[in-house]
Amino acid sequence: MGLFDKLKNLITRKKEVVEEVKDKYEVENVEDIEEENIEEEAEESLEEEIENKEIEDEEIEAEEIEEPEEEIDDEEVEEEESVEEDEPEEEVEEESEDDDDFEEDEDEESEDDDDEEWAQFVQSHQSKVEEAKDIETYDKGLEKTRKEFVSKLSLLGIKYNKVDDDYFDELEEILINADVGVNTVMKFIDQLRDRVKKEHITDTKYLNEVIIDELFIIYVDNQSLTDKINIAEEGPTVILFVGVNGVGKTTTIAKVAHKYRNEGKSVMMIAGDTFRAGAVDQLHEWADRTGSKFYGKEETDPAGVIFDGLKEARDNKIDIVLIDTAGRLQNKVNLMKELEKINNVIDRQIPGAPHETLLVIDATTGQNGISQAKAFKEITNITGIVLTKMDGTAKGGIVLAIKDEVDIPVKFIGLGEKMTDLKTFDIENYIYGLFKDLM
């Protein structure tokens, strides 16, 4: 199976996940599904399974079917299996009606098991909804880019029925306008021309498939598809956020805190941006809202605040420490010195930390963002990029440019202003968000 077919399958599967969840919960938007809806749904589906199972059992007994497995499809087999595993309360009760003296302590034991199995059952429902929510957020956050870039791409396939120089010129323009980056585009067009020659491609519609295929190759480039956040094996995981003013550092910290708090982790925010008036208060507020601890003082040396904050994080056995910094790129030498100092104090408190230094870039600033990434890369060791405000731009091609021109993995992507709109970067969801209408 070719790469394009794989992408097509992937997109189809993702569409199905979202549709299935929407149908099941009878909602327009997956994001409207609340925790309690999931529990209700889990309860209902468990009852349904028990009923089905009972009906099946009766049928089996009545008809004496020898190998019923062959007659039911995969889904039903799954359901049947999980019913067996789940040993639902209702059945236990029924059984004990028949067998009244067979007995209470058994009941209690199986209650514990039931609790655990029930939790797992709910969990499987939750992960499905989570998956659908992720897909939907990418879908919405990339809408502008999709509308611009992909619709132009399909129009191109309609306008030209032959692949010629004019076609390539226009394609080049579309890609540059989507902020894929001039160098990336040049390389890309060269590769595409080669392939067109080698494979004797003349059909522009087929070429669209090749284009998607090649864009995907630029990003993947033999690397793993998701770049996970490096979590410390022991002690607090320290994540340092850098980037120029206004790109979304503080809000990103809030969103990251929200994510880890939801996973049940303890979080502390440290206000290393001690320069901008109100910056400390702004972070403090986010800490309160996300149920995170806070450490910060105004008008002091950031390295000092970070040093003290980390000590407190260690003493309080905090899982995740998020450090905000001031981003002043005006003076590279000063910023370099300051970050060096910050890194030193972090390492002194927690050897090996920071575990991540994330550079926050505003996707709407396009090539300017790429320049920032290049500059910061010279100043300090950046381990990942957070690309914010993707929802506000039609130029979502910047992800590809970053990969190709800066070669630092995008770890988070900001797809909107809500707390849940920051997602771990997932190339498959990104591809889905961009190309779902093309297939």
Return the number of the residue (174 or 415) whose C-beta is nearest ligand GDP: 415
278, 279, 285, 288: CA torsion to nearest 10? -140
Q: Is 416 a residue that touches ligand GDP (CB under 6 A)?
A: yes
Minimum CB separation of residue 242 from ligand GDP in Å reads 10
Is 250 a binding residue for ligand GDP by CB under 6 A? The answer is yes
Angle CA 141–241–368, to nearest 5:
60
**Is there a contact between 150 and 437 (Cβ–Cβ < 8 Å)?**
yes
Q: Which is nearer to ligand GDP, 88 or 243 (CB)?
A: 243
Pick the closer one to Mg ion by CB: 249 or 423: 249
Interface residues with Mg ion (CB under 5 A)?
249-250
> Looking at beta carbons only, is 8 or 328 nearer to Mg ion?
328
Ranges of H-type helices in 263-395: 279-290, 302-315, 332-349, 367-379
Contacts of residue 335, defined as CB under 8 A and 6 or more positions apart, other chains included, come to: 327, 328, 329, 379
Rounded least distance, CB 248 to ligand GDP, Å: 3
The distance of closest approach from Cβ of residue 144 to Mg ion in the complex, given in angstroms and rounded to an integer, is: 25
Give the pair of three-digit tokens for residue 9. Answer: 């399958």
Under rule CB under 6 A, residue 245 binds ligand GDP: yes
Binding partner selected for residue 417 from ligand GDP, Mg ion, none, CB under the kind-specific 5 to 8 Å limit: ligand GDP
Parallel/antiparallel/unpaired status of strands 356-362 and 237-242:
parallel
Examine residue 68 and tell whether it contacts ligand GDP (CB under 6 A).
Answer: no
Q: Which backbone phi and psi does 361 adopt, to 5 degrees? A: -125, 140
- Give the phi and the psi of residue 142 in degrees, each rounded to 5: -105, 10
CB of 421 to ligand GDP, least distance (A): 6
- Give 388 or 393: the residue with its C-beta nearer to Mg ion: 388
Angle between helices 104-141 and 427-435 (to 10 degrees): 50
Q: Where are the beta strands (DSSP E) in 183-254?
A: 237-242
Distance of closest approach, residue 369 Cβ to ligand GDP, in angstroms? 12
User: Shortest approach of ligand GDP to residue 325 CB, angstroms?
Assistant: 9
State the binding partner of 392 from Mg ion, ligand GDP, none, CB within 5 to 8 A by kind: ligand GDP
- What's the 3-state SS for 99-138? CCCCCHHHHHHHHHHHHHHHHHHHHHHHHHHHHHHHHHHH
Does 177 engage in binding with ligand GDP (CB under 6 A)?
A: no
SS (H, E, C) 284-305: HHHHHHHCCEEECCCCCCHHHH
Task: Tell me how far apart the alpha carbons of residues 119 and 141 are, in angstroms, rounded to a whole number.
Answer: 32
Contacting residue, 137, 145, 208, 251, with ligand GDP by CB under 6 A: 251
With CB under 6 A as the contact rule, which of the stretches 55-63, 109-117, 190-198, 243-251 interacts with ligand GDP? 243-251
272 binds, among ligand GDP, Mg ion, none (CB under 5 to 8 A by kind): none
Binding site for ligand GDP (CB under 6 A): 243, 245-251, 388-389, 391-392, 414, 416-417, 421
